Structure 1
Amino acid sequence: MSWQIKQRVNFYTDEFKPPQLPDEIARLLLISAALMSLMLVVFVCVWSYSGWQGRALDNARQQQAFLQQQLETIKAERPPLTADSGLEQQKQLQEQRLMANQKILRYLTQGQLEQSHSFTPMVEQLGEQDIKGVWLQSFVIDEQGQRIGLNGYVDDPAKLSPYISSLVNRSAYKNRAFRFIDLQKNEGNSWLKFELDTRARDEQEKNDLIEQLAVGEQQ
């Protein structure tokens, strides 16, 4: 018996090939898979960062609570602070002198005295003097501003020199010099009482005597 091929079949034709997706659908699926992978990576990163941030916040709170506890312990161990009575008295005295000087300066600079208007720059610049340890108690400006007398207190004699230098360098005190300078120990405290005058002592005593004689003749 012999075999004879009566029909041939070509299995390499498109009919026998497995079905394939179109290129557009394949690209769409590929892009979707890539986006899903990217979103998954972002989600993992965000979740990791949130966990790290939460742990860091917890550590910071614990550290703050620990420091607050240490601070409270230190406060409890230290004795309460009390103000020194001597310093309080000195502060009140200085405030009273400052208020008195400010009242005098306001009275003079507001033009309540007929002759004070021309002396306003001198009074204002005298009030601008700011050297710690020197307090002005009273001042005299007469003879049309030619004579200036200052009285006050100083805690260190060395501070009087920069006070005078600062004052004579101001515009209203140019070409003026204090010819009489006196320092006396103030009874009751450690402050020194100072007196400054642009007139020399002999000249001042002479003028005071003339003023006293003139007052006596008027009486």
Structure 2
Amino acid sequence: MTPYEAAGLLGVAPTATPDDVQRAYQARLVEAGSDPRRRDELTAARDALLAASGWAPAPWYPPAPPRRGLSTGAIVGITLGSMAAGLVVLLFALFGIAAIAHDAGRLADSRSSSSAAPYADPTAPDPSAPDSAAPDDSGSSVEDYDVDGVHVHYVDGWTFELTPARTCAGATVTAGFSDTPDGDEVDQWTTTLDLEAGVPATVTIPDSASPHDYAGIDAVDCGQA
């Protein structure tokens, strides 16, 4: 087959470039369909033109069909699978956080319980046990007493409450001091106070009155009634 016959069969000029020959050949193959004789003629015409131009084509293969995309169902399945995997990871993370918090709470409880109880001295007295020396409801363990017709009630510290049976203007109140509750009197302190019958009057002995530890009202001299 001459180049002119080949060019006429493919529908190109005898001087067509190899690219034009190849494109014409492929187009004519599509038109030939499955006719083997026609396809052989087209192939011979192509080879004749290419041989005349001094170039041999590489084997030709039909183009691959377009890749089919993912269906909607496949996309939905992939999305749901990703969401499920994310939920599983999230659940594991939550369980891990809860376990850590639980362990931390138990550790804090054990520390607080181990340090909350103070040291108990076995020789120390029981604060819940009744104490005969503890103050009564009036706030004092010292019993009331009467001195020179005046009722003496201990309040606290060196403070006393005096309630006279009769009114005394300018009464002289004498306090005595000792080193022990029942010891001998070793010092005295006096003050002047107006007393009204049946009305309690408070007397507070200053700390500077004596260096000794214990004080009490020893006498009340009602100078003028």
**Normalization by structure 2: what TM-score?**
0.36
Q: Which structure would you say has the larger RCO, counting Cα contacts within 8 Å and 6 or more residues apart?
A: 2
Which structure would you say has the larger Rg?
Answer: 2
- The structure with the greater share of residues assigned to strand is 2
- The structure with the greater share of residues assigned to helix is 1
**Normalization by structure 1: what TM-score?**
0.37
